[in-house]
Amino acid sequence: MTMLNRPRRMRESSFSRTLMRENNISVSNLIYPMFVIEGTGVRQDIESMPGIQRLSIDELIKDASECHQLGIPAIAIFPYIDKKLKTDDASEAFNDDGLIQRAIRELKKEIPGLGVISDVALDPFTLHGQDGLIDKAGNILNDETVSILTKQAISHAKAGADIVAPSDMMDGRVQRIRKSLEENKFINTKILAYSAKYASSFYGPFRDAVGSSELLGKSSKKTYQMDPANSDEALNEVELDIQEGADMVMIKPGMPYLDIVFRVKQTFNKPTFVYQVSGEYAMIMAASLKGWLNQDDVILESLISFRRAGADAIITYFALEVARLMDSKQ
């Protein structure tokens, strides 16, 4: 019997597999999330995220410089705020001399070519660990929260942030932030909207990293983050954020929501980012440290899955490790 079609023929050789490869991962697709803490010379391990640390600003500059040298185009920064600065009104969030604002200024001073993405959300700054202001009954106050988020975004833009990234999931916040940026002449400050952010159980290690886990306790964020069962709702959220002025949209978490990444990219053809969140990182690291998985291979496979689904950029705690790995192979 003559077999005319043998798909394995193209998989037989390394060079032909390379030639027919449909998607690739490069350093230019990666964003490195980093945690900043007060002090000097501080490198504080995060127990639930092996290999990731909270860094004082001087140490942040060192690691960010390596990111830039290795070709990572941008970093995303998140604060660990002293408990005495946490308040019901989250006023520290828009303090022009706050931790994040100082970190942004130093980053842009020392590494001007590195993109800096700042997180616009209130959970590191509130006494209760929620992303918004609450009333006496514990309900999230949407419009009052948006007012604070807008002030926070402007303080980041003043400090020099290239991209402000509202991750709170309040209704209407992108429009208010965009309008305020325009009014304050920050016409080139970009907005990365966490448009499809799910009420996921994969965020635990991140909440440890920013110090909101113990404050949140058994409370949830289900009244503003999305139901993991929903897909069409994500398209509605993304469409609203684009209409309100978002330059890029985010899906979070990553691997459990590849279908959402695909649908968003196919529907809107807008710059589409995905966040490989702390729980995804922790699972891969735990299994790798046990010797159950090949760490490098699994990391790269997970990242290519995001690209295959349509993601233009990936926020991942593996970014620096992957950049080092790729650099060593050149």
| Sequential DSSP letters for 80-117 | ---GGG-BTT-GGGG-TTSHHHHHHHHHHHH-TTSEEE
Q: Is beta strand 30-36 parallel, antiparallel or unpaired with respect to 313-316? A: parallel
Please write the tens of the pLDDT for every residue from 217-247. 567 788 999 999 999 999 999 999 999 999 9
Locate the DSSP E strands across the chain: 30-36, 43-45, 53-55, 74-79, 115-120, 163-166, 190-197, 248-252, 272-276, 313-316
Which domains are seen in the chain, by residue range? 25-328 (3.20.20.70)
HSE-CB at 61 with a 13 A cutoff on CA atoms is 15
Single pTM value for the model: 0.94
pLDDT at 216: 60
Active site residue 252: yes
Q: Is beta strand 272-276 parallel, antiparallel or unpaired with respect to 313-316? A: parallel
Other CB atoms within 10 Å distance of the CB of residue 260: 26
Active site residue 136: no
In sequence order, which ranges of the chain are alpha helices (DSSP H)?
14-19, 57-69, 99-110, 142-159, 173-183, 204-210, 213-216, 232-244, 258-268, 278-289, 295-309, 319-328
3-state secondary structure of 134: strand
> Of 197, 221, 265, 270, which residue is the catalytic one?
197
3-state secondary structure of 35: strand
Phi, psi angles (nearest 5°) of residue 247:
-90, -30
Euclidean distance between CA atoms 205 and 203, whole angstroms: 6
3-state secondary structure of 32: strand
pLDDT at 112: 97
Other CB atoms within 10 Å distance of the CB of residue 176: 19
pLDDT at 266: 98
> Which residues have a Cβ under 8 Å from the Cβ of 155 and sit 6 or more positions away?
93, 94, 95, 96, 98, 101
H or E, element range at 321:
helix 319-328
The first and second tokens of residue 293, run together, are 């998985």
pLDDT at 311: 98
pLDDT at 95: 97
Query: 276 forms bridges with which residues in the sheet?
Result: 316
The first and second tokens of residue 173, run together, are 């916040």
> Of 151, 252, 265, 270, which residue is the catalytic one?
252
Low-confidence ranges of the chain (pLDDT < 70): 211-218
195 with 250: CB under 8 angstroms?
Answer: yes
pLDDT at 203: 87
Spacing of C-alpha 72 from chain mean position: 14
The first and second tokens of residue 123, run together, are 């959970």
Euclidean distance between CA atoms 201 and 70, whole angstroms: 32
7 Rama class: left (phi>0) / alpha (psi -120 to 50) / beta: alpha
